Structure formats: C-alpha cells, structure tokens
Amino acid sequence: MSEFKFVISALMFGALALASGTTSAQERDHLEVVTTVQKEITVETDDGSQETRLVAAESVVPGERVVYTIKFRNVGQEPAENVVITNPIAQTLTYVAGSAAGADLEVEFSVDGGQSFARAEQLRVVDNGIERPATTIDYTHVRWVMQSELAVGSEGQAQFAAVLE
C-alpha cells in the first residue's frame, strides 16, 4: 500500500496540503495525517463473478481509477478546531463525480488552483469568454471542512477517486 505522512510527494498523483483558518489544528501540530493512494482492479472470484478491489497504486495506466484515502488523528493535548484538509488533483487526473466523502466533513472544490473553494453546484468557470457551470474536469482541488472539533485521540477519514487521463 502506498502511504504518505503529512505532505504527499507530488508524484503523478498530486500532493496533500493542510490548510485552515487562524490558529488551526495543523499549525499547532495537533494532527497526524496519513494518505494512502490505491487503484481499483477487477478480479474474478472463485465462483466466477467479478469483484472490484483496491490495491497499491505502484503503477497506473490511463483509464485506471485511483482512490485517495486521507486518515487523520488528533495527537494534540486539546481538541482540534478549524480542521480543513485540502488535496490538489493532479492535471493528469480527472475527479470522479460524487466520490469525495467523509463523516462530519463538508466537501468543497476549487477550479482556480486552490485560491477559492465552494460546493460543486456553486462552481462556475469562464471557457472561451463564456461562463458555464464547472464540471469535474475543471476541478483542481478537493477540500474537506470538519463541521465540529476533533477530540483528543479521535480520528477521521476523507476519500476521493480520480481517473488517470
């Protein structure tokens, strides 16, 4: 399994960045963050049916689906407030609609390189001088905003999928 602590190497997949408001949990070293990058494969089971499984994303070819799982834990001595986790989406990847999830996390996206974020249905882009609703091809970042504080020792998880172009 491919795991990365704190900041993911750029590789071909992108990098994990942590961001939030003033005096964030990340700035005070409250969070331990581990990101796992896997790809989906289809295997035939003993009964002849097909099953989708996640395996280490050691190599990925165009058309394959990659799944990012970001696990975080409050390792500080006080509750973590303003927890925001942001993950860039590499230019070689296209976000899979509806795949970003996480318990007690609001999902937002950016179409401007991470300068601003909004819910998917609120995003707009200008294409050849014409404004239109953003599509998953336009997404540059996915962000999860925790809706409550993270208690000492508590864990959370965020996830999203993308397809290599």
How many C-alpha atoms does 55 have within 13 Å on its Cβ side?
A: 11
Sign of CA dihedral 106, 107, 112, 113: positive
pLDDT value, residue 12:
30
**Terminal CA-CA length for the chain:** 22
Tokens matching residue 141: 């970042």
d(CA 109, CA 111): 7
Number of domains in the chain: 1
Q: Which two tokens stand for residue 164?
A: 């290599």
Segments forming the whole domain that contains residue 83: 2-164
**pLDDT tens for the chain, residues 1 to 165:** 444 333 222 223 333 333 333 334 544 578 999 999 999 999 999 999 999 999 999 889 999 999 999 999 999 999 998 899 999 999 999 999 999 999 999 999 999 999 999 999 999 999 999 999 999 999 999 999 999 999 999 999 999 999 999
